[in-house]
Structure formats: structure tokens, C-alpha cells
Amino acid sequence: PQERTGVRMSRPHFYIEIATVILHQGNPSDYDNTLQGYINPYASSFVNWALSQGVVYWLTDRPFHEQVHLAKLLRVPADAIPIRSFESSKTELIPPSHPDVIWVDCELIPGEITFLHENHYMDRFFQVPASTGVTSATKALIERKLRERAKN
């Protein structure tokens, strides 16, 4: 945490959806049998960067053993990223009105969009294409948003 004009600022909390942000539609050489998907080539770099900036949570409905396997592939300790499993909506896992939420996902269901509006999170949601997953451009957008927040 940093101090700025007497106000304590906490580190961002990244909520990253696995199925479309970390995994993506790729070529057969990238296919992982355990995860039944393709590992995004930029995912390891992005996840390690996010860990250096704040707290990272997986948003997933996948079994635990797949998440441990994913952590190995991304070269992060299995316990470095708490697992947040949901049943019907990712909003079950994201605290309402939390000042430090960064949500990275591909698509949202209508209730999740409502949640973003009600909690004033629209500027903290970063949508990535399912075809590519997270990229360096995603990281650059988030970095800019974090710098803007630090100024205010």
C-alpha cells in the first residue's frame, strides 16, 4: 500500500477469467490436453505482471486440478493465485463497491453487466477477444488505468 495525500491506497485486485483470457482459440501445437484448450502465448507474462502489481484471483468454473496445472504452465506458484469458483455468475466472487477491482474477461452475461453498472466498475472492466485472449495491448490499457487512479 502507498500513501498519497494522507489517503491509503491498496493494491489492485485482478479478477481474471481463465477460459477466454488465459486460454484461447489457437493452433494445435498450443493445445493442452488437461485444460482442453490452448494456452495464450502472452498469458504467463501478463499473469506474472499482474502478480507484481497486486492480488490476482482466477474466475473459473473449472476443477481445482486444472487450475494447479495451469499455474505450472504459467510459471507461477500454485498457491500464488487464489481460486474463485462460481456457479452461475462471476459476480458471486467480486466484492461490490470495492475500490481496487480490475476485471479481465471476454464476455459477460446480462447480470454481470448490471453488476458492473451498479457498482461503478465499467471503467475497471477490460474485455479481451476470445480469439486471442490477453495481449500486451490489454496490459498497456490496464497500466494506463492504474496510473490514472494513482494520480487521483
The 10 Å Cβ neighbour count of residue 9 is: 15
pLDDT at 102: 92
Percent of the chain with pLDDT over 90: 22
Tens digit of pLDDT for each residue in 94-103? 888 777 889 9
For residue 11, the surrounding DSSP H or E stretch is: none
Q: What is the pTM of this model?
A: 0.81
Q: What is the DSSP string of 87-146?
A: SS-GGGTSPTT-TTEEEEES---HHHHHHHHHTT-GGGEEE--TTT-S-HHHHHHHHHHH
Which range, 5-19, 32-46, 109-123, has the best average confidence (pLDDT)? 109-123
114 backbone dihedrals φ, ψ, rounded to 5°: -60, -45
Residue 1 — pLDDT band, cuts 50, 70, 90?
A: very low
User: Residues 43, 74: contact at Cβ < 8 Å?
Assistant: yes
Average pLDDT value for the chain = 81
